[in-house]
Amino acid sequence: MAPEGQVIEVDPQVFYDVGRQCLQAAAGFDAFFTLALGGLTECATMAGSYDSGLAWAKSYDERAADAIATAGDLVAALANYSEIVAELGYSHALADSNPNNDDPPSPAPQFGASRLSSPPSAGGPGQGLADKIGIGLIEALDIPVPDGDPDKLDLAITVWNTMATGDVIVNSIAILAALPGRFDAVKTDEAQYIAEDLRGLHTAAVDLQHACGELAQSCRDHRAAIGELRDKLTEILKDMAIEAGMTLAFGAVASVFSFGLAAGAAVAKGSHTVVKAARAISAFVGSWKIAKKIAEGVKASRDLKRLKANLQRIKDLTKKEKPKEKLPTKPKVSSRADAEKILDEGATLEKDKKSIIKSKDGGSEQAQKDFERITEGQEVTTYPNGTKVARLPDGSDISLRSSSDGRVTISIQQKGTEASKYRYNP
């Protein structure tokens, strides 16, 4: 409650502007997420089926699912909050501002980011090296060659890096960062809570951005490791070819790196030269898995699951805090004049300038009784800040809310006319 004598000005336009920016951020995020994350459908089985790859895939799949779920929740929360904030502004406009206000903002549209998903990243042939000559090298290996798919990993890198660095993401986060400050000069009971919610939405966007960057980096590290592995395979196989007096041709299709005979006679199957190359490859693969730490999975410095509860709360605000009460009885008060006649009982004139202000005794209890009396049979909407609004058959808007001086107030207004306000002394 404001100190005695303090008048608090509430500019509904601040609420409208913030609501609009939340909705624009939701729309931008949704379109961007949908476009960018669509590329993940082509990334199935990119991790391969070797042991370290399977461990990495488990970590990646869980983190990717959390990131996509957070993206959907963020879009839905921003869209819903855009409506909540705009409606709060409208409730202030009804109570304290020029009666020539627009109707309440339209409900936010539904977005599709929550329908996105990422396919399983594990899978593959089980062997990342193919012997097209048939010299028995594969059979001589002590360990399978990792079968990660560099092309699919490259695509995943692009997707997640875009999610972390795209202009839409960066610009929207900057806009969200500035929104809480818009309420620094708004001294209403709900202003601090709105600012806190807006900071929570900004934090969610930033944490999601970091998570996407970490997913991109993990895919990049995995891709680089597969590249180094294939470079070493090429080196070992070339040494084998030189020793055997043959020339090899190398190729790669998806997750399999292959070698075939380009010139010369093939070395005997299972020969000492082949076995030596197989041992060198097995030894390198073992040390490669230790050095690259693929099995450690995706780094996760931001707790996305922690964000879920707050985003869900914001998504559910309309359902929990803006119920509509439909009264089936026939309205007993049909016009502003009838309502004012009832409210004038025991009222004393305080001010007659931009709006007519009268005071009454009885506090919030009497105000509630009077409001129910003049709105009986009307549809009453309760906004998240507790403001109640109804419209009479003649188009007059009636609201019940806390006023700028802390007293509970009933306000009656029509477009083009001065508002009548009845403030209830405690």
Q: What is the mean pLDDT of each run of 10 residues along the chain (426 residues)?
A: 43 89 92 88 96 97 95 92 87 59 53 73 96 95 97 97 94 96 83 90 96 97 98 97 95 95 87 96 97 95 88 75 47 89 91 77 93 90 78 88 80 82 91
Task: Quote the pLDDT of residue 330.
Answer: 65
Chain position carrying tokens 């969200």 = 176
Output the pLDDT for position 9: 58
- Taking a C-beta distance cutoff of 8 angstroms, is the pair 93, 12 a contact? yes
Distances, alpha carbon 381 to alpha carbons 83, 88, 183, 248, 324, in Å? 14, 12, 24, 78, 5
Secondary structure of the chain in HEC code, one letter for each residue? CCCCCCCCCCCHHHHHHHHHHHHHHHHHHHHHHHHHHHHHHHCCCCCECCHHHHHHHHHHHHHHHHHHHHHHHHHHHHHHHHHHHHHHHHHHHHHHCCCCCCCCCCCCCCCCHHHCCCCCCECCCCCCEEECCCCCHHHHCCCCCCCCCHHHHHHHHHHHHHHHHCHHHHHHHHHHHHCHHHHCCCCCCCHHHHHHHHHHHHHHHHHHHHHHHHHHHHHHHHHHHHHHHHHHHHHHHHHHHHHHCCEEEEEEECCEEEEEEEECCCCCCCCHHHHHHHHHHHHHHHHHHHHHCHHHCCCCCCCHHHHHHHHHHHHCHHHHHCCEECCCCCCCCCCHHHHHHHHCCCCEEEEECCCEEEEEECHHHHHHHHHHHHCCCCCEEECCCCCEEEECCCCCEEEEEECCCCCEEEEEECCCCCCEEEEEEC
CA-CA distances (angstroms) from residue 273 to 131, 140, 388?
Answer: 15, 11, 87
* pLDDT at site 354: 60
Task: Give pLDDT, residue 7.
Answer: 37
pLDDT at 323: 40
The angle subtended at Cα 309 by Cα 308 and Cα 314, nearest 5°, is: 95
HSE at residue 105, side-chain half, CA atoms within 13 A, is: 27
Tokens for 399, please give them: 């609201």
Tokens read off for 250: 């190398």
244 neighbors 267 (Cβ within 8 angstroms): yes
Burial class from Cβ neighbours inside 10 Å (0-12, 13-18, 19+) for residue 228 reads middle
Give the predicted TM-score (pTM) of the model: 0.75
Q: Are 339 and 356 in contact (CB under 8 A)?
A: no
Who's near 106: CB < 8 A, 6+ residues apart? none
**Measured distance CA(137)–CA(315) in Å, rounded:** 58
Other beta carbons within 10 Å of 13: 11
Q: Which pLDDT score, from 0 to 100, does residue 381 have?
A: 81
Closest CA to 99 of 396, 401, 423, 403: 396
| pLDDT for the residue 313 | 86
